[in-house]
Amino acid sequence: MLHDKMAKALNDQMNWELYSSYIYLAMASHFEQINLKGCAHWMRVQTMEEVTHFKRFYDFVTARGARVVLSEIKAPPSEWKSPLDAFEDALKHEQEVTRRIHRMADLSLELKDHATSSLLKWFIDEQVEEEASADEVIQNLKLNQDAPSGIYLIDKELGARAFTVPPDVTV
């Protein structure tokens, strides 16, 4: 059984993961409107990742006998000045996710909740990848921000990103 404080933190994170999916979907829509289909695709894949993160938490919380409590999800921003601006916002968002995961990991240690600690280890590792992925795009955009052909090539590359549902996540 989950400690009440841990269940609340996990529920808060589940709702944050859904908000994350909203942000990335809003970014995808923005990129669709400015005809950067590859960037839009990258963001749609990111949206699906966030939903699987939500599901991983959901399955864990219910397996531990706690209730999933969904709350209202605020509307995300809908426009960005440039592709670089959008990806910088994505990185800032992922850094906030990392801070939140670390706070939950600290709480799991405080409560001696080893099962939750094990779950959060996966998310800690995942956040390293999430931040690196966004930062890689940012660095490429910075190198090419004054070169439309470079932005075009980056957009094409981002369109090749693939998503696979992890085998341990139910859909």
Mean pLDDT check: name the lowest of 37-51, 99-113, 149-163.
149-163
The answer, yes or no, to whether residue 171 has pLDDT greater than 70, is no
Percent of the chain with pLDDT over 70: 99
3-state secondary structure 46-101: HHHHHHHHHHHHHHHHHHCCCCCCCCCCCCCCCCCCCHHHHHHHHHHHHHHHHHHH
Q: Which of 66, 96, 62, 74 is nearest to 2 (CA)?
A: 66
**What residues contact residue 33 under an 8 Å CB cut-off, 6+ apart?**
none
The answer, yes or no, to whether residue 29 has pLDDT greater than 80, is yes
Give whole-number Cα distances, 87 to 32, 39, 41, in Å.
Answer: 15, 9, 13
pTM of the complete model beyond 0.85? yes
**What residues contact residue 56 under an 8 Å CB cut-off, 6+ apart?**
119, 122, 123, 166, 168, 169
d(CA 159, CA 59): 30
Query: What is the tens place of the pLDDT at every residue in 70-115?
Result: 999 999 999 999 999 999 999 999 999 999 999 999 999 999 999 9
Mean predicted confidence (pLDDT) in 12-28? 98
Q: Residue 53 — very low, low, confident or very high, per pLDDT cuts 50/70/90?
A: very high
Looking at domain 4-67+78-158, what is its CATH homologous superfamily?
A: Ferritin, core subunit, four-helix bundle (1.20.1260.10)
Percentage helix, strand, coil, to 5, in the chain? 75, 0, 25
Mean pLDDT check: name the lowest of 41-50, 82-91, 130-139, 144-153.
144-153
Angle in degrees, 0-180, between the axes of helices 83-110 and 4-33, rounded to the nearest 10: 170
Q: Residue 145 — very low, low, confident or very high, per pLDDT cuts 50/70/90?
A: confident
Per-residue burial over 88-123, b = 16 or more CB atoms within 10 Å of its CB, e = otherwise: bbbbebbeebbebbeebbebbeebebeebbebbeeb
Higher pLDDT, 164 or 11: 11
